[in-house]
Amino acid sequence: DAGVIQSPRHEVTEMGQEVTLRCKPISGHDYLFWYRQTMMRGLELLIYFNNNVPIDDSGMPEDRFSAKMPNASFSTLKIQPSEPRDSAVYFCASRGTGWDEQFFGPGTRLTVL
């Protein structure tokens, strides 16, 4: 059974470029979460969706960040324009209704030069 799938696994880009991170949640899970992890700030929730609808985006750092979930099996996190301080590991996670456990994808390691 496939877990949460994220792509790309690594991304190196230059400041000012657009970055798009992708996530496929576990089939049947109706909650999807985007997190960012850095040494300084730990694991931070950016945004989460329930049944493809954004519920809370208060963790999105600024307007350069946007997230979409066009269907139950796909979500994107976009950064435009990217900045060096966006360098981090971005995790996607999903869970089913009534379950507390979240399942994380392997993460995307983003480096903005």
At closest approach, how far in Å is the CB of 76 from other proteins? 19
Q: Copy the structure tokens of residue 37.
A: 């992890």
Q: Which of 1, 2, 28, 58 binds other proteins (CB under 8 A)?
A: 58
Q: Which of 19, 29, 32, 48 binds other proteins (CB under 8 A)?
A: 48
Q: Round to whole Å and give the CA distance between 2 and 38.
A: 26
HSE-CB at 91 with a 13 A cutoff on CA atoms is: 16
When asked if residue 76 is in the footprint of other proteins (CB under 8 A), the reply is no
Q: Which of 91, 94, 110, 112 binds other proteins (CB under 8 A)?
A: 91
Q: Copy the structure tokens of residue 87.
A: 């360098």
Q: Round to whole Å and give the CA distance between 63 and 81.
A: 10
Q: Which of 56, 61, 84, 113 binds other proteins (CB under 8 A)?
A: 56
Report the residue number, 72 or 89, with the smaller CB distance to other proteins: 89
Give bridge partners of residue 54 from the DSSP assignment: 49
Report the residue number, 81 or 111, with the smaller CB distance to other proteins: 111
Strands 88-95, 10-13: pairing kind? unpaired
